[in-house]
Amino acid sequence: MESIKSMEVLGQVLSLTQEELSWKEGPGTVPLRITEHFFNLIDKNDPNDPLRKQVVPTGLENIEDDQDEEITFDPQQEEKYSVNSRLVHRYKNRVAFLVTDLCPSYCRHCFRRRFTGKLMGCVSDEIAEESAAYVGNRPEIKEILFTGGDVLTLSNSHLEKLITMFREKRPDLLIRICTRYLTTDPKRIDIEFISMLKKFRSAPFYIMTQFNHPKEISEESVKSINLLADNGFPLMNQTVLLKGINDDVLVLEELFNKLLFLRVKPYYLFQLDYVKGTSHFRVPLERGFEIQKELTKRLSGLANPFYTLDLPLGGGKVNFSQTQVTKDEGEQRFIIKSHSGETRFYPIG
pLDDT at 333 (0 to 100): 81
pLDDT at 331 (0 to 100): 67
pLDDT at 349 (0 to 100): 67
- 183-200 pLDDT per residue, tens: 999 999 999 999 999 999
Domain containing 279: what range?
Answer: 65-314
Q: What is the mean pLDDT of residues 117-134?
A: 97
Q: Residue 158: pLDDT above 60?
A: yes
pLDDT at 162 (0 to 100): 98
Residue 52 catalytic? no
| Interacting residues of 62 by C-beta distance below 8 A, sequence separation 6+ | 22, 23, 24, 26, 28, 29, 277
Catalytic hit among 33, 52, 53, 94: 94
pLDDT at 28 (0 to 100): 82
Question: Does residue 27 sit within a domain?
Answer: no
Q: Residue 248: pLDDT above 80?
A: yes
Catalytic hit among 33, 103, 113, 167: 103
Residue 103 catalytic? yes
Residue 273 catalytic? yes
- 254-287 pLDDT per residue, tens: 999 999 999 999 999 999 988 889 999 999 999 9
Residue 107 catalytic? yes
- 205-240 pLDDT per residue, tens: 999 999 999 999 999 999 999 999 999 999 999 999
| Interacting residues of 232 by C-beta distance below 8 A, sequence separation 6+ | none
Q: Residue 66: pLDDT above 60?
A: no
| Cα 166-147-165 angle, rounded to 5 deg | 15
pLDDT > 70 fraction of the chain, expressed in percent and rounded = 96
Q: What is the CATH number of the domain that holds 80?
A: 3.20.20.70
pTM of the model as a whole: 0.94
Q: Residue 329: pLDDT above 80?
A: no
Does a cis peptide bond (omega within 30 degrees of 0) precede residue 301? Answer: no
Q: Residue 178: pLDDT above 90?
A: yes
Catalytic hit among 65, 81, 91, 118: 91
pLDDT at 64 (0 to 100): 64
Report which secondary-structure segment, H or E, holds 331: none
pLDDT at 323 (0 to 100): 73
Question: Does residue 54 sit within a domain?
Answer: no
Question: Does residue 10 sit within a domain?
Answer: no
Residue 110 catalytic? yes
Q: What is the mean pLDDT of residues 294-311?
A: 96
Catalytic hit among 52, 101, 110, 113: 110
- 18-36 pLDDT per residue, tens: 999 999 998 889 999 999 9
Catalytic hit among 106, 107, 176, 333: 107
- Cβ atoms of 254 and 50 within 8 Å: the answer is no
Q: What is the mean pLDDT of residues 114-123?
A: 94
Q: Residue 10: pLDDT above 80?
A: yes
pLDDT at 287 (0 to 100): 95
Question: Does residue 280 sit within a domain?
Answer: yes
Question: Does residue 319 sit within a domain?
Answer: no
pLDDT at 67 (0 to 100): 53
Q: What is the mean pLDDT of residues 154-162?
A: 98
- Cβ atoms of 210 and 221 within 8 Å: the answer is no
pLDDT at 246 (0 to 100): 98
Q: Residue 170: pLDDT above 80?
A: yes
Residue 310 catalytic? yes
Question: Does residue 167 sit within a domain?
Answer: yes
| Cα 321-233-225 angle, rounded to 5 deg | 85
Q: Residue 330: pLDDT above 70?
A: no
The HSE-up count of residue 31 (CA atoms within 13 Å, CB side) is 19
Question: Does residue 31 sit within a domain?
Answer: no
Catalytic hit among 176, 273, 274, 346: 273
- The mean of the pLDDT values for the chain is 93
pLDDT > 90 fraction of the chain, expressed in percent and rounded = 81
Residue 94 catalytic? yes
Q: Residue 6: pLDDT above 80?
A: yes
CA separation for the pair 237, 211 (Å, rounded): 7
How many domains in the chain? 1
Which one, of 42, 79, 81, lies nearest residue 245 by Cα? 42
Q: Residue 65: pLDDT above 80?
A: no
Residue 263 catalytic? no
Catalytic hit among 112, 114, 170, 180: 112
Catalytic hit among 101, 150, 185, 310: 310
